Amino acid sequence: MLQLESMVEKLNATFYNSVDFVAREISFPKDQYAILCYYSSMANKKDVQDIVNLLKMQTTVNEKEWDATTSSQKESYNLEKLVEYVCQGFTVLLLLNSQQMVRFTIPDLPHRSPDEPTNESIIRGSHEGFVEDMDVNLGLIRKRMRVPDLIVKKVTVGTDNKAEVYYFYLARFANQDNLTELERKLDLMKDKIDGLYTSGQANDFIEDSPLSPFPQILNTERPDRVFANLSEGKIIIMSDFSPNAFIAPVTLFSFYQSPDDFNSRVIVGSFYRMVRVFSFLAAIFLPAFYIAVVSFHYEVLPIELSKKLKLDISEIPYRPIFEALIVEVIIELIREASVRLPVALVQTIGIVGGLVVGDVIINAGLVSNMVVIVVALTAISSYVVPSVELNTSIRVLRFPFMFAASILGFFGILIGALALVVHLCNLNSLKSPYLYPIVPFDPKKVKQILFRGKHTKSSPQPSSFDPKGREI
């Protein structure tokens, strides 16, 4: 009895007398007494009671295999392991006399229901989304992929918080080179990260060039998107604390595809895919083009347009680049404010922003009509991208182009575009070319960038490698 009390004290001390830690002695038929320990914050008390009752009952019926239930496992006592299990949310039943412990796998961690992610909503198709719980997430995927060769592996990262990072792939299709590269990077991350608390940290480690403006990992919260990529031989990386799934290797064009394309009709899907490709060009080059035209090459303007435009901008006191920057900055401010604000207030910001930017600023003579049209069109174009990362990257990218255009006109835009293309050609995603199928050129797959094929003919999205065992 004394031993029991001292053990409870010892356990409490091990867990620093945390208030949500429970170490309680209970009467148990086999050893007379047992200690039940768990974090009350991570376990469902009713479930714990049920299992304990079940075990009690089993001991009286079956002496030998009394511990066998679907969620329990018996092993010999080891304090270090006990601490680890409890921290992971397990409940441990400690039998002191026989130096054994039984752990129940019934963690009851809080998580959301798998609702559709708001930043990736689609019109038709599945409306499920990942949550901050790996079991639920894997369940969402297994539900769609009922095959045994969906391999899930786990890496524990971070000495401080021991976060779990999972990666999974289809053994049939996944490319070994990509896999080796990913494992190398995860190994690297294991040693370097103290505490992994946000997926952005993992992102930097997994990407080939973290300094590039272009994301080399597709980030999604949609199980259907993950599923589609799995069957194309991509590798998915997820963590236990974030609903974001990283998909790699990807190409630039993967970011311009939405599950909507594949759920809608062939022509409609293809049309919107082309609209998105146009939006990419508009989002990067439109403000730069405007600046170049009004500072260097106004002769390209049709005469009908030139009269109004010329008289409008004659009254603006500063150069076109500053004019464009003012509106750009205002739009970025409105965007940032509407992301941070509670949903109820976002509309207010929209109205204030719309009125201020749309009307008063022109009447006040701060900027001209045309620049507001240009910047608004650019902003809309950049939001068309179905991926949040790429859309932020593109919005940042247009500033260097605006400066280049204000210094050198079309020539400056051309030099910027040249640098951009060279950079994109150099970029890799898990050692696979980023600009495929443009570089290296594969004429057969180029059309898949612009068109979505019929489902009756197999046509996965262009990938930087051929998934093994699959004819594309």
| Residue number with CB closer to another protein (380 or 419) | 419
Q: Does 79 bind another protein (CB under 8 A)?
A: no
* Integer angstrom CA distances of residue 447 from 148, 265, 279: 34, 17, 18
CB of 342: closest distance to another protein in angstroms? 42
Q: Does 298 bind another protein (CB under 8 A)?
A: yes
| Residue number with CB closer to another protein (188 or 419) | 419
Binds another protein by CB under 8 A, chosen from 192, 307, 340, 470? 307
Total of chain residues touching another protein, rule CB under 8 A: 30
CB of 10: closest distance to another protein in angstroms? 60
Per-residue DSSP letters for 203-247? HHHHSS-TTSSS-SSEEE--HHHHHHHHTTT-EEEEETT-S-EEE
CB of 314: closest distance to another protein in angstroms? 5
The contact pattern for another protein, residues 416-435, with x = CB under 8 A and - = no contact, is --xx--x---x---------
The strand ranges marked E within 89-187 are 91-95, 100-104, 150-157, 163-170
Binds another protein by CB under 8 A, chosen from 15, 33, 241, 411? 411
Q: How many CB atoms lie within 10 A of CB 383?
A: 15
| Rounded CA separation 384/276 (Å) | 6
List the end-to-end C-alpha distance of the chain, in Å, as a whole number. 71
CB of 86: closest distance to another protein in angstroms? 51
| Residue number with CB closer to another protein (8 or 316) | 316
| Rounded CA separation 465/174 (Å) | 10
Q: Does 367 bind another protein (CB under 8 A)?
A: no
| Residue number with CB closer to another protein (218 or 286) | 286
| Rounded CA separation 409/412 (Å) | 5
CB of 431: closest distance to another protein in angstroms? 16
Q: Does 40 bind another protein (CB under 8 A)?
A: no
CB of 312: closest distance to another protein in angstroms? 7
Q: How many CA atoms lie within 13 A of 445 on its CB side?
A: 22
Q: How many CB atoms lie within 10 A of CB 345?
A: 12
**Which of 325, 344, 336 shows the shortest CA–CA distance to 405?**
325
Task: List contacts with another protein (CB under 8 A).
Answer: 293-296, 298-299, 301, 303-304, 306-314, 316, 319-320, 407-409, 411, 415, 418-419, 422, 426
